[in-house]
Amino acid sequence: MSDVRVGIVGVGVMGADHAERVVRKTSGARLVAVSDADQARAEELADRLPETQGVGSAARHAGGSSYGDGIRVVEDPLDLIAADDVDAVILASPGFAHAEQLFACLEHGKPVLCEKPLTMDAASALRVVEAEHKVGRQLIQVGFMRRFDPEYAALKQLLDSGDLGRTLLLHNVHRNRSVPPSFRSEMIVRDSMVHEVDVARWLFGEEITRITVYTPKPTSLVAAGAFDPQLAVFELASGAMADVEVFVNFQVGYEVRCEAVAERGSATIGLGSGVFTRAGEHWGGAMPADFRVRFEQAYDLEVQRWIDATARGEIDGPSAWDGYAAAAVCEAGIESLSSGKPVDVALADRSKVLG
């Protein structure tokens, strides 16, 4: 079977990481084109990547030989999406560019793994869901990679088994070492907290109906006026609740934890209990520097399973609806961030939209 030929739009931190992943670690895939608003960055990446690609890909079956044709740099992302030699697209461009690029993927029938957020607001995300529905098959998978993390997957399995009874509460912690000054308070909701929004919907298997975002005393280590950390409470349709602390300038390292409280016990993941050392005058383990390190395995599994599903003409992960539902919660969250009040989530009726 021939490889899925992948094009990547946006090769900043995440897009470049995915490019390395497709080229070096993913079987059945070949990176053929990249595009970025910063052309020099795209060229530098294309030059840096090896010509021989893949783990068990056609290149390997052919004895590991190079295909001989390098990775093309395409100036206009819409040209990359339309290109005949691109079978599937990874969108790692900034969120504000997603809507137009997703519509182009749908128009050309291209399967797409779209980094979160799906789009910038609920209305445009719903238009994407409706447009995909018109195409008649699921082409969009959203990059909520935590669903592929072995720890999160084990937690989901445990909760779904019913061994602990019904799940009642989730307590989440989400800390980044630091973010650039351009990462505004709303982005903490839309780009960071959105992960817990998806985790809560996924673990409980139901929608979030209301969100309150509190703004505790801010850190003095970022520009005045930034709301960091934030504390949010999600209310779910059944009355279950989830809380999350998101603190993106924590200074120390990357830390993501989730504790589920159920009727007959609780379960916690993200304790980082890898190798524990006693050396010098320290004891303990290492903290990952950022999400690429902490969720490396999740990203690898996500992309491999997306490629395998693409080859079968399917998706295998969070859908456009999941991206839309998260966008609707974040929109309400951003409103709550400024009002300080609980805000109801306005979500379209799924059965009416998807039939």
Q: Which residues bind ligand ISE (CB under 6 A)?
A: 176, 191-192, 195, 248, 291
45, 11 contact by CB (below 8 A): yes
Min dist CB 192 to ligand ISE, Å, is 3
Nearest alpha-carbon partner for 108 in 124, 143, 129, 132: 132
Min dist CB 173 to ligand ISE, Å, is 11
77, 15 contact by CB (below 8 A): no
Min dist CB 195 to ligand ISE, Å, is 6
DSSP 271: -
Of the pair 46, 248, the CB lying nearest ligand ISE is at: 248
Buried-state track 144-174, b at ≥16 Cβ within 10 A, e below 16: bbbbbbebbeebbebbeeeebeebbebbbbb
213, 230 contact by CB (below 8 A): yes
Of the pair 32, 303, the CB lying nearest ligand ISE is at: 303
Min dist CB 335 to ligand ISE, Å, is 20
8, 18 contact by CB (below 8 A): yes
Tell me if the bond preceding 117 is cis, omega within 30° of 0: yes
* β-pairing verdict for 88-91 and 4-9: parallel
Of the pair 71, 188, the CB lying nearest ligand ISE is at: 188
Min dist CB 180 to ligand ISE, Å, is 10
Q: Is 56 left (phi over 0), alpha (psi -120 to 50) or beta?
A: left
Contacts of 192 (CB under 8 A, 6+ apart): 174, 176, 246, 248
Min dist CB 4 to ligand ISE, Å, is 24
